[in-house]
Amino acid sequence: MKKSIIKLENVWKIYEMGEVKVKALQGLDLDVKEGEFLAIMGPSGSGKSTAVNMIGCLDVPSKGKIMLDAHDISKLSESDLAQIRGRKIGFIFQQFNLIPTLTALENVALPIVFQSVDRETRTKRAAKLLEIVELGDRMEHKPSELSGGQQQRVAIARALANDPEVILADEPTGNLDSSTGETVMGFLQKLNRKEGKTIILVTHDKNVAKHADRIEFLKDGRVIKSLRRKGD
């Protein structure tokens, strides 16, 4: 049986806005296994974004536990969380978030800078990753010289820069047409099946979610339904 890589246990997140308390998560339980491809779905306001922040060590819960490799990280400091994020989790966002003044190669190499790796090694690794996402001929191009699909593939390569165990993809096809989105999802599926990466995908699009092994549906900050792909 595969071990849990990330586990949320009765996680609550309450935001205080003046006199009003907003319960973004209300006792969320989620168990993500090593090597799994999980999709999280739900309408706007269901708690998807807050769940992403918890899973990605971008925020801490108001109460409950977040276990990463069996260690409770829910009460760690921001600097400790940042270290975990840098080593364990790669992020892919809807907006690509590439630095416009840097080339594709420099964008991919950037996360490795913070891991005290020498320049030559960084450059070689970034070049190899761009080859993997079939952008070996676009390494010296800046984001403005790339299509939306190419920019998202640069973002995928950047997410892999420090060889993380988990890839967290937040609406990764939201700014792409359906055909390009399918290509990007194909790359994520390949990373899961051939490289063994754990993929956690957040989407509102059921056509995107169908690529996952399991879908968890959120409403009012908790899971209301789970679906597994046939054959799993």
- pLDDT 10s digit of each residue in the chain, 232 long? 788 999 999 999 999 988 899 999 999 999 999 999 999 999 888 999 899 889 888 888 999 999 988 788 887 888 888 888 878 899 998 888 999 999 999 999 998 887 778 899 999 999 999 998 999 999 999 999 999 999 999 999 999 999 999 999 998 998 888 898 899 899 899 999 998 999 999 998 888 999 999 999 999 999 999 998 765 4
Q: From CA 218, how far away is CA 28, in angstroms rounded?
A: 9
Vertex 15 angle, CA 13 and 21, to 5°: 110
pTM of the predicted structure, to 2 decimals: 0.89
Query: Which pLDDT belongs to residue 161?
Result: 92
The set of residues, in sequence order, having a beta carbon less than 8 Å from that of 180 and lying 6+ positions away, is 147, 148, 149, 152, 173
User: Domains of the chain: which residue ranges?
Assistant: 35-53+85-228
Distances (CA, A) of 192 to 11, 25, 102, 177, 187: 27, 28, 28, 23, 9
pLDDT digits (tens, 9 = 90+) for 167-188: 999 989 988 888 988 998 998 9
Query: Which pLDDT belongs to residue 153?
Result: 92
For the domain with range 35-53+85-228, which CATH number is right: 3.30.413.10, 3.40.1260.10, 3.40.50.300, 3.10.330.10?
Answer: 3.40.50.300
The structure tokens listed for 152 are: 């998202």
Q: From CA 185, how far away is CA 196, in angstroms rounded?
A: 15
Query: Which pLDDT belongs to residue 230?
Result: 60
Widest pairwise Cα distance in the chain:
55
The structure tokens listed for 164 are: 């993380």
Distances (CA, A) of 152 to 87, 102, 128: 21, 15, 16
* Spatial contact of 133 and 182, defined as CB atoms under 8 Å apart: no
The structure tokens listed for 52 are: 């992403």
